[in-house]
Structure 1
């Protein structure tokens, strides 16, 4: 999948939601007309109308982005997931976090998604959802499972294929640790950013990864909007640093509006 296809699919999801809202409103109005006592139909119209307008705006916005994004041939071969130094992050509609990671050339590099997603999660308040144990999977562009993440209340454990804990990120302590790394890896927010557009993973005073938005190289803007979050890794970062960073990213975005 390319970012162009992602924009088109997201636009379609907004369009379907708009059509569904209008259809439900029409049915309710028709039913109300046949009732012996007329209910206050005007009160039903307002929320459905506002919801439809929001969904229509989303459809037009993402449709415009899809048209502006350049076409990329999908038969291009990508390297191993962990060899990349830059990922651009987007959110796919889902009851729980589903994070798509794109290569700067606009092709999908991989994704992080919850293994067991159920529709009723859309209705569950965050206060209750935070107490649920969630299992996320990291997949490459071919769908191969690379790692597991177990999240409970913004504490995320990184698991190997045998479900053994290899690293732990604790959002409240802003610290990631592993059995072989007693010092830990710090996850820091930029002190000069009130909107948290700059967060960093620091090992031994060296920044090994950075999550930020609000800027990007000019050539990337041919495919992505300027506010697309960018996850960048230093050339010195290893696979363990990247997995721990992704655990921190899951904790950071787990309850964002997606």
Structure 2
């Protein structure tokens, strides 16, 4: 998948939701005419119609983005753990499906729930947040590069494994602090503390530095170069890695972001 295909799939989903919602509103209207139910019709129909119109607007927005990208061939990229700037796009999913693109719109890989099933759409977010999760990091060829396991409960604590199931790091949160903000420690496989994290819960901007104040990575949204904005929405999150960190350290950073973003924007 590339960024064009992402927009095409999202546009199609929004289009289907818009028409299904409109059909549901029509069914309510017909049932009211046939006196199959009594009550104020507008209470039922108006919210559904607004929902339908909004999704039709989203459909047109994504459809226009596809047109702007044109028909130029776009391939995947094999630079998942070597490129410095990674753009994050969230696919519609019951838990986490986080697509990773380079600035040219080429798919680098994704972080997704290993146990994603259809019935998970039926689980309320409030309940799903408390359940343990098993995420996997896939490259553009679909190969597993890492595994991320979170514990049940209110915190986002995580253990990070490589493709061979060896522990290479993790993230620990203090549950008292994590109720109002993101605060914890990212550590490496030998349990040594690597990065102290403290941020607002909304996480619009974050600078990750090691315990000895070396820049590792940053996460931000709301700004990007003009050339990138031709392919991505303006508020698309951007991960910027320092050129000095290793592939394994990049895997750990991606795991931390999966831990704190796993119920955002999908």
TM-score, with length taken from structure 2: 0.86
**Which runs of 5 or more structure 1 residues have no equivalent in the other structure?**
none
* Structure 2 partner of 1:161: 163
- The question of whether the paired residues in 1 share the 8 Å contact of 2:138 and 2:145 is answered with yes
- The question of whether the paired residues in 1 share the 8 Å contact of 2:81 and 2:251 is answered with no
- The question of whether the paired residues in 2 share the 8 Å contact of 1:175 and 1:184 is answered with yes
Question: Of 178, 190, 195, which residue of structure 2 is paired with 1:180?
Answer: 190
Deviation of 1:54 after TM superposition, in Å, equals: 1.6
Residue by residue, what CA displacement relative to the aligned partner does 1:140-188 show, whole Å, maximum 9, x if unpaired? 1111111111123411211123434321112444211123252322234
Q: 1:36 to 1:251 in 2, by over 3 A?
A: closer
Deviation of 1:211 after TM superposition, in Å, equals: 0.7
Q: What secondary structure, in the 3-state scheme, does the structure 1 residue paired with 2:50 have?
A: helix
- The question of whether the paired residues in 2 share the 8 Å contact of 1:92 and 1:98 is answered with yes
Query: How far, CA to CA, are the matches of 2:219 and 2:22 in structure 1?
Result: 39
After TM superposition, where is structure 1 displaced by more than 6 Å over at least 4 residues in a row? none
Query: How far, CA to CA, are the matches of 1:38 and 1:179 in structure 2?
Result: 63
Q: How many residues align?
A: 254
Deviation of 1:8 after TM superposition, in Å, equals: 1.7
Deviation of 1:251 after TM superposition, in Å, equals: 1.9
Residues 49-128 of structure 1 mapped to structure 2, 5 A cutoff = 49-69=49-69, 71-75=71-75, 78-128=77-127
* Structure 2 partner of 1:198: 205
* Structure 1 partner of 2:139: 140
Query: How far, CA to CA, are the matches of 2:194 and 2:133 in structure 1?
Result: 24
* Structure 2 partner of 1:30: 30
